[in-house]
Structure 1
Amino acid sequence: MRGFGDLEAAIMDRLWSDGGGLTVREIHTALVADRDLAYNTVLTVTDNLYKKGWLTREPAGRAHRYTPKASREDYGAGLMRAALDAAGDPRQALVQLVGQMSPEETAALRAALDSFENGDRA
């Protein structure tokens, strides 16, 4: 799994933050507050995200309303899985990762492992 490019990440961040669906016009309006972007650029990148399977879309008048297929957390988990797969020694990579985690993060990891081991997959 590859990470998103800069504009792809900005579009996905906007869609994840919104919690609902947005049109390209709405995405463009939100993004031009921070950077100079052409509408067609946002349209092309959003359409590419749709074609890559990251977004769903439904008609909204003459436009489409785009919604992420996966949550931000699912995306992050996929990146972590890909990083482990790419590591020479996944066990050592996990040890290194845990060594870089805050106490709050290690407690959350411990709770997630306990929950998983107890069959509680949510």
Structure 2
Amino acid sequence: MTDHRQRPRRRGQGELEGLVLSVLREANGPATAGWVQERLGGDLAYTTVVTILTRLLAKSAVTRERAGRSFVWTPASDQAGLAARKMRKVLDGEGDREAVLASFVTALGPDDEQLLRQLLRQPSAESED
């Protein structure tokens, strides 16, 4: 006889990281892994949550500090900052940066292209130092 019980859908690593980050952003300050696990609905094991947080730390998406015998975690940036970090990582992995950037810009819609032009005209924080 075959067991016809459905197994829970397996989520991808990026999806879990996104869920953990969104829960951390809801916190009123640094949060423990246990707090994150509770807010996720107990769907994930505590060790899985710690693993995800540790991966996010390696990607500089979160910070942590010691609190007693454990750690508390804080998101390092918002969704926009995280997306920008991913875009930069892709760009850094390519040999011909000019070709990648040119291809990216030509694929933008008119509104996004105009927004990018406006952003490029703004003085950067680095040039003000």
TM-score category of the 2 structures, normalised to the smaller one: 0.5 to 0.7
CA distance in 1, matches of 2:97, 2:74: 33
- Show the counterpart of 2:81: 74
Asked if residue 55 in structure 1 is aligned to residue 63 in structure 2, the reply is yes
Shift of 1:58: 4.6
**1:67, distance to aligned residue in structure 2 (A):** 0.6
Task: Determine what percentage of the aligned residue pairs are the same residue.
Answer: 29
Q: 2:21 aligns to what?
A: 12
The one-letter amino acid of 1:8's match is E
- Larger of the two Rg values belongs to structure: 2
1:43 aligns with one of 35, 44, 50? 50
TM-score calculated relative to the size of structure 2: 0.62
* TM-score normalised according to structure 1 size: 0.65
CA RMSD of aligned residues (A): 3.0
Question: What is the deviation of 1:120?
Answer: 4.0
Counterpart Cα distance in 1 of 2:31 and 2:94 = 37
In structure 2, the CA distance between the partners of 1:25 and 1:104, relative to structure 1 (3 Å rule), is farther
Matched, 1:94 2:101: yes
**Aligned residue-pair number:** 112
* 1:113 CA displacement: 0.4
Partner of 1:20: helix, strand, or coil?
coil
Answer whether contact 2:33 2:50 (CA < 8 A) is retained: yes
Cα deviation, residue 47, structure 1: 4.1
Q: Please identify runs of 4+ aligned residues in structure 1 that moved more than 6 A.
A: none
In 2, Cα distance between equivalents of 1:41 and 1:30: 14
For the residue of structure 1 that corresponds to 2:51, the secondary structure is: helix
Deviation at 1:18, TM superposition (A): 4.3
Question: More helix by proportion, 1 or 2?
Answer: 1
In structure 1, stretches of 5+ residues that fail to align are none
Q: Which has the higher contact order (CA 8 A, sep 6+)?
A: 1
Q: CA deviation at 1:114?
A: 0.1
Give the C-alpha shift of residue 83 in structure 1. 1.6
Go from structure 1 to structure 2 and tell me whether the alpha carbon gap of 1:22 and 1:120 turns closer, same or farther (over 3 Å shift).
same
- State how far apart, in whole Å, the 1-side matches of 2:33 and 2:18 are: 15
Q: Measured at CA, do residues 81 and 49 of structure 1 come closer, stay the same or move farther in structure 2, by a change above 3 Å? A: closer
